[in-house]
Structure 1
Amino acid sequence: MSGEAAAGTVPAQVNLPGEITLREYGDALSVPLDAAIGRSLVASGFLDSAAPDPERPGHWRLRAGSQVGAVRLPGGTVLRISPKTPVGRLFFLLGFSLDPADAWRDSREGTINTGAHDDVLPALAYAVERQIDGALRQGVLQGYRETAESALVVRGRLREAEQIRRHFGRTPPVEIVYDAYTADTAENRILRAAVERLLRLPSVPGPVRRRLAHQRIRLADAAPLVRGQELPLWQPSRLNSRYQPALRLAEAVLRGTSPEHRTGPLALDGFLLDMNQLFEDFVTVALREALKEHGLTARLQDVHTLDLGGQVRMKPDLVVYGADGRTPVAVVDAKYKTEKSHRSHGYPNADLYQALAYATVLGLREAHLVYAAGRLPERATDVRGTGGLRLLQHSLDLTSEPAALLRTFRTLSARLAGLTD
């Protein structure tokens, strides 16, 4: 291959398909692909595997892992990864993880409206646009923001140090600082950035794209965010309550996995959701909410150490503490495993070893593992030589109705609270 091809040009002899569709943890697919693009996919790491097809020159075998969504490859090809979980249910998991209050109260199919779209990125773009439209229905939120500038007249407060440093002994301009009532707030900046992010992505339907462009115009007074910088901070309040659902979803868009930031020989642009992380977030948030009914505190990703020297760190997904807030009473780890792998191999032994370490360090008689494993029965493992330590493996069927899913967590929370066996 020439140096130019390695640098990013797609050779004319490679006939790239317009679209490549993979399924989460599905079978590998052999597709015509330029070697530079293939190497970029390997470097990006969002596929389970990507390698040249030994039986078909000019083809690569691609297999998706836990990340779902769409990516635009150089040359215009769109790589789409569809989830095993129905899109409507996937967005219920996402909406609950972002803000469990509404979903926990009435178990609606989704606090996030995805319209009739059955693919991740179109559904996401539709949902964000609808949420932003609802947030702006009463007008663009304005607020006070401290502004510093050079001016010909004094307004607000004089910045004495800056005035002396920059204009010592001179008449205006003067260095001033004042509170400006403006639409250039953290909330509007985040919404505008999410809109602009989605407008750059592939697979956004035309009608949704046009509505997103309209929302960008409505948010034009908010300054654009600089790529790579941290998102501006905002605080939930009565004044921005109508913005909050849109803000949480917008932040999920901006903080989600973005292949454009990964290293590799070529730039890739797209948006992906990691089902591993989404499942873990959903399980831990749902259990945390359910445990409140029992007066227990649950902490997510609480750091503990395996060794006495404190060198080996471990972070269980969720540790439940008693009424004093200090004594561990239960530990839970969420494992997003495909139902197919469980049917052929059963629950993985390595997960049991991990759960055993958690229970041992925390001084517990039980540890719990929760899997996205369909309808597999609960399994209990009594550990030899421990005087009765038990490891319990539970399965969660993500195709169940939301109300049924939440009932499962109420049952499990009662078990963690020691109210049932």
Structure 2
Amino acid sequence: MSRVVELVEHAPACSVPLPEGIGRALAVGDMVDAAPDPHLPGRWSLRAGSKVGAMTFTDPGAGTRVTVRVTSKVPVARLFYLLGHALKPDGIWRDGSVDVAEHRDLLPALAHAVERQVDRALRQGLLQGYRAAEESSLVVRGRIRESEQIRRRFGATLPVEVAFDEFTTDIAENRILRAAVERLLRLPGVTAEVRRRLHHQRARLADAAVLVRGQPLPAWRPTRLNARYHQALHLARAVLDGTSAEHGAGGLRVDGFLFDMNRLFEDFVTVALRESCRARGHVARLQEPHHLDEAAAIRIKPDLVLYGPGGALRAVVDAKYKAEKREGFPDADLYQMLAYCTALGLPAGHLVYAKGNAAHAAHTVRHAGIVIHQHALDLDQEPPGLLADIEEVADLLIGTPFSASKRPVRR
């Protein structure tokens, strides 16, 4: 038996029939909120949060296969714009080489985008570079590893323990691209045509070593020589860093890929604000650690801290991707921002939300005079309008120490 369960992020819970094992696997995971339906035996109440994507649960013993798909409220094309801007602010899509408008679901669109960018990167052949290597050899090349030679071959002339720099295609850039292609080929939901093209890209990257799962990605540095790889590597990182599952649990096989909309929205807002403020001569630092108390025992880490040209603190920002709520913005966010402003000695703080049903607001804290601004970005609008809203927030950030409580907030 095979079936697909369709959910929408932050939509009301729905009751669906599920095998007991698959329901329990969902309950212990972090994809959705899952619990047995108290009124209908054999059914489970499922509610999606901020994770979007798809996961497939297969029970080989029972012959059952269930795919749970969570769709974002943000259109796929807009979601990819947010992702592209967060990964590469100067525009990962601006050359027109990737068009995801034809895809309605996240995973097929992501697989298509990665394959197109990998193909574009490899059109001139695989990138080559020098890689440090060590081996036992019958000839001397590079330098002799004397300590290893003595430890392993004491008294023997051959083989020789040597270390050398090898000019090869088995370098970090190609390994990362291959890992992303391999990851996508193991995921359900990739269309047959894209899967065929991914197999072709894997064959082109066959000389690159397969990365060990769970190990950190190899480091690479953007240079003029690997410029044609940059966009493909940025997207590959999104595939490999994304929340994913690929394991067996309780006899089940689980395959899937999820994007955390909280993280995606936070990355977009902070990177876009950083670039906008940089153009105005200010420096924004992301996830910079500070302390709330004098003893430095309580650590705080705002999403963005802004510094002026002379290095003085100017503003603090936290990005919050929230569901629409009847009561508007959560009060807990205000308390958190108040703590940030107090610890950093700032007269104002800024909370940036994905637009729900709450209007822009500015609150002045009694007996403290601290102003907490709440901004809402409408993700349904076209990119120029979205960036214009970011520019408006950046203008307010830079003016914070002097006129934050007097400047009007656009409604």
TM-score over 0.5 for the pair: yes
Deviates more, 1:122-131 or 1:155-164: 155-164
Confirm or deny: 8 A CA contact 1:365 1:389 kept in the other structure. yes
The offset of 1:267, in angstroms, is 4.6
| Residue of structure 2 in register with 1:101 after alignment | 90
Question: In 1, distance between residues paired with 2:251 and 2:287?
Answer: 34
Measured after TM superposition, the shift of residue 373 of structure 1 is 1.5
Q: Deviations along 1:221-279, whole A, 9 cap, x unmatched?
A: 00000111110000111110100110011011111101336977745221000000100
Q: Structure 2: how far apart are the matches of 1:17 and 1:166?
A: 57
Q: Which residue of 2 aligns with 1:86?
A: 75
Mapped to 2, the partners of 1:375 and 1:72 lie a distance apart of 33
Stretch moving more, 266-275 or 219-228: 266-275
Q: Distance in 2 between matches of 1:110 and 1:375?
A: 34
Q: Which residue of 1 aligns with 2:332?
A: 350
Query: How far apart are the structure 2 equivalents of 1:362 and 1:258?
Result: 36
Counterpart for residue 371 of structure 2: 390
Q: 1:115 to 1:224 in 2, by over 3 A?
A: farther
| Conserved? CA contact 2:328–2:357, under 8 Å | no
Partners in 1 of 2:320 and 2:130 — Cα distance?
A: 45
Classify the secondary structure of the residue corresponding to 1:100.
coil
5+ long unaligned stretches in structure 1: 1-15
Q: Partners of 1:65 and 1:379 in 2: how far apart?
A: 25
Determine the C-alpha separation between the residues in 1 that align with 2:155 and 2:101: 64
Equivalent residue in structure 2 for 1:310, among 288, 296, 308: 296
Q: Does the aligned pair in 2 maintain the 1:43–1:263 contact within 8 Å?
A: no
Match of 2:62 in 1: none
Instruction: Verify the 8 A CA contact 1:372 1:396 in the aligned structure 2.
Output: yes
2:202 is aligned with 1:216: yes
Query: Which of 126, 137, 140 is 1:151 aligned to?
Result: 137
Secondary structure in 1 aligned to 2:58? coil
Q: Give 2:45's match in structure 1, choosing from 61, 71, 76.
A: 61
User: Which of residues 361, 367, 380 is equivalent to 1:379?
Assistant: 361
8 Å CA contact 1:356–1:367 kept in 2: the answer is yes
| 1:11-410 pair list within 5 angstroms | 17-47=2-32, 49-75=33-59, 76-102=65-91, 113-260=99-246, 266-325=252-311, 327-338=312-323, 340-341=324-325, 344-374=326-356, 376-386=358-368, 388-410=369-391
Which letter does structure 2 place at the counterpart of 1:378? H
User: Following the alignment from structure 1 to structure 2, what is the Cα–Cα distance between the partners of residues 379 and 233?
Assistant: 43
Partners of 1:265 and 1:370 in 2: how far apart? 43
Contact 2:97 2:117 in 1 (8 A): no
Q: Give the stretch that moved more between structures: 263-272 or 277-286.
A: 263-272
- Which one is further off, 119-128 or 56-65? 56-65
Aligned-residue sequence identity (percent) comes to 57
- Asked if structure 2 preserves the Cα contact closer than 8 Å seen for 1:375 and 1:396, the reply is no
In structure 1, C-alpha distance between the alignment counterparts of 2:130 and 2:94, rounded to whole Å: 36
CA apart distance, 1:102:
2.6
* 1:171 Cα deviation after fit: 2.8
Q: CA separation in 2, counterparts of 1:126 and 1:309?
A: 51
Question: Over aligned residue pairs, what C-alpha RMSD do you find?
Answer: 2.0
What is the alpha-carbon distance in structure 1 between the residues aligned to residue 119 and residue 145 of structure 2? Answer: 40
Q: Give TM-score scaled by structure 2 length.
A: 0.92
Deviations for 1:191-238, whole angstroms, at most 9, x for unmatched residues?
A: 000000000001000000000000000000000001111100001111
The 10-residue stretch of structure 1 (31-40 or 351-360) with the greater mean CA deviation from structure 2: 31-40
Distance 1:203 1:321, change over 3 A: same
3-state DSSP class of the match of 1:246?
helix
- Say which of 386, 399, 407 aligns to 1:418: 399
Deviates most, 391-400 or 23-32: 23-32
What is residue 8 of structure 1 aligned with on the other side? none
SS at 1:145 equivalent? strand
Task: Give the alignment's TM-score, normalised by structure 1.
Answer: 0.90
> Partner amino acid for 2:292?
L
Q: Which runs of 5+ in 2 are unaligned?
A: 60-64
Structure-2 change in CA distance of 1:109 and 1:174 (3 Å): closer
- Within 2, Cα distance between the matches of 1:232 and 1:77? 35
Report the AA paired with residue 255 of structure 2: D
**Structure 2 counterpart SS, 1:311:** coil
Shift, 1:34, TM fit: 1.9
CA drift of 1:115 comes to 4.9
Alpha-carbon distance, 1:180 to partner: 1.4
Change in Cα spacing, 1:249 to 1:293, as seen in structure 2 (3 Å) is same
| Separation of aligned partners in 2, 1:335 and 1:71 | 25
Segment drifting more, 309-318 vs 78-87: 309-318
Q: Alpha-carbon deviations, 1:323-362, whole Å to 9, x = none?
A: 222x211111111112x31xx1122211111111111111
Number of matched residues? 397
CA contact (8 A) 1:191 1:246 kept: yes
Q: In 2 relative to 1, CA 280–111 (structure 1 residues): closer, same or farther, beyond 3 Å?
A: farther
Instruction: Return the structure number with greater strand share.
Output: 2
